[in-house]
């Protein structure tokens, strides 16, 4: 691979800097504009929220996530938790036992047991089964940090009027205005595209695809007030488990990176559906 010249390196850094400045100012100005418009009418809606959760052999992490959910949610009655588990999951009974605990009795949850070959297909299957106005693809290794995060979702999506939109929330990424690890979608977005995650990939890029469509269509809003924390196996040694190892075997991340580079035209086309 040919080494870049100093001029090429400077040019690349300048482009990065200009891009960051553009999205920083654009997202902040847009947020203020939508907030001002909302405050004129203050028509706050309460939405039914469908959390889409594919999981495998992670009942302990699932319980950790579930505990954070019920202790931080303002109105648990309007949360719909859709769980997808593989048919050969050795911990299926553990999941079922956890959900039988009386402290989760007010949570509307349902387990679907089916084998599907990719993370996107699992999320798309759950989206088909969902009934919420808000669709929230989630991970079992994540916990909710912000109190009343569901009310914040109400507030942000109440600013949007009958159009496809994506809400970017804070999971600790450096540049909140360039990417969200856990983007939240309204049902109009899902219906316009006909999917939650692109099924081109083996496992990765669900959030990256959604964020790329957000940037291309400009149909997104950033909320700094909804905070999550991910116990990522990429950075926390103790979180490495058989599910993580399965997802990275056979060079799957690299294969998905190649697919990402080859599907730019598809992303352009789908972004136009949101405009």
Q: Identify the structural domains of the chain with CATH numbers, from first to last.
A: 46-273 (3.90.550.10)
Q: Residues 153-203: pLDDT tens digits? A: 999 999 998 999 999 999 998 999 999 999 999 999 999 999 999 999 999
Residue 2 has pLDDT above 80, yes or no: no
* Residue burial 223-236, b: 16+ Cβ < 10 Å; e: rest: beebbbebbbbeee
What is the pLDDT, as a whole number, of residue 231? 96
Q: Residues 10-45: pLDDT tens digits? A: 788 899 999 999 999 999 999 999 999 999 988 999
Mean pLDDT for the chain overall: 95
| Structure-token pair, residue 135 | 């669709």
What's the N-to-C CA distance of the chain in angstroms?
39
Q: How confident is the model at residue 55 (pLDDT cuts 50, 70, 90)?
A: very high
Q: Residues 212-259: pLDDT tens digits? A: 999 999 999 999 999 999 999 999 999 999 999 999 998 999 999 999
Q: Residues 7-18: pLDDT tens digits? A: 777 788 899 999
CA angle, corner 256, sides to 250 and 262, nearest 5?
A: 140
Residue 114 and residue 95: Cα distance in Å, rounded? 15
Helix (H) or strand (E) holding 166: strand 166-170
- What are the CA-CA distances from residue 136 to residues 166, 180, 257 (Å)? 10, 12, 24
Residue 1 has pLDDT above 70, yes or no: no
Q: Could you write out the three-class secondary structure of 76-122? A: HHHEEEEEEECCCCCCHHHHHHHHHCHHHCCCEEEEEECCCCCHHHH
Residue 12 and residue 20: Cα distance in Å, rounded? 12
- Provide the CB-side half-sphere exposure for 237 (13 A, CA): 0
Residue 250 and residue 232: Cα distance in Å, rounded? 20
What is the pLDDT, as a whole number, of residue 41? 83
Residue 275 and residue 218: Cα distance in Å, rounded? 8
| Structure-token pair, residue 259 | 């697919």
The DSSP line for 202-255 is: SSS-HHHHHHHHHHHHT-EEEEEEEEEEE--TTT-GGG--HHHHHHHGGGHHHH
Closest CA to 120 of 204, 211, 57, 58: 204
Find how far residue 229's CA is from the centre of its chain: 13
Mean pLDDT of 100-112: 97
Pairing of strands 166-170, 220-230: parallel
| Structure-token pair, residue 254 | 């690299």
Mean pLDDT of 48-59: 98
């Amino acid at each position: 691979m040919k080494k870049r010249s100093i001029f090429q390196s400077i040019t690349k850094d300048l482009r990065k800097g200009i891009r960051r400045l553009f999205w920083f100012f654009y997202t902040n100005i847009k947020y203020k504009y939508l907030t001002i418009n909302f405050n004129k009418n203050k028509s706050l809606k309460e939405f039914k929220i469908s959390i889409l959760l594919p999981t495998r052999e992670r009942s302990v992490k699932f319980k950790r996530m579930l505990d954070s959910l019920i202790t931080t949610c303002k109105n648990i009655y309007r949360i719909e938790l859709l769980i997808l588990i593989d048919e050969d999951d050795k911990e299926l009974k553990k999941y079922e036992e956890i959900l039988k605990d009386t402290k989760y009795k007010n949570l509307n949850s349902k387990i679907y047991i089916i084998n599907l070959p990719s993370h996107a297909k699992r999320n798309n299957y759950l989206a088909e089964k969902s009934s919420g106005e808000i669709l929230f693809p989630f991970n079992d290794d994540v916990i909710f940090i912000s109190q009343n995060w569901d009310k914040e979702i109400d507030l942000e999506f109440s600013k949007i009027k009958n159009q496809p939109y994506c809400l970017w929330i804070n999971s600790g990424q450096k540049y909140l205005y360039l990417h969200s690890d856990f983007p939240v979608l309204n049902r109009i977005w899902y219906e316009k595209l006909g999917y939650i995650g692109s099924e081109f990939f083996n496992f990765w890029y669900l959030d990256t695809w959604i964020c790329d469509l957000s940037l291309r269509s400009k149909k997104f809003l950033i909320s700094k007030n909804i905070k999550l924390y991910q116990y990522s196996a990429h950075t926390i040694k103790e979180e490495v488990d058989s599910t993580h190892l399965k997802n990275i075997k056979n060079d799957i991340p690299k294969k998905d990176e190649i697919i990402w580079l080859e599907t730019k035209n598809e992303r352009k086309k789908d972004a136009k559906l949101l405009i």
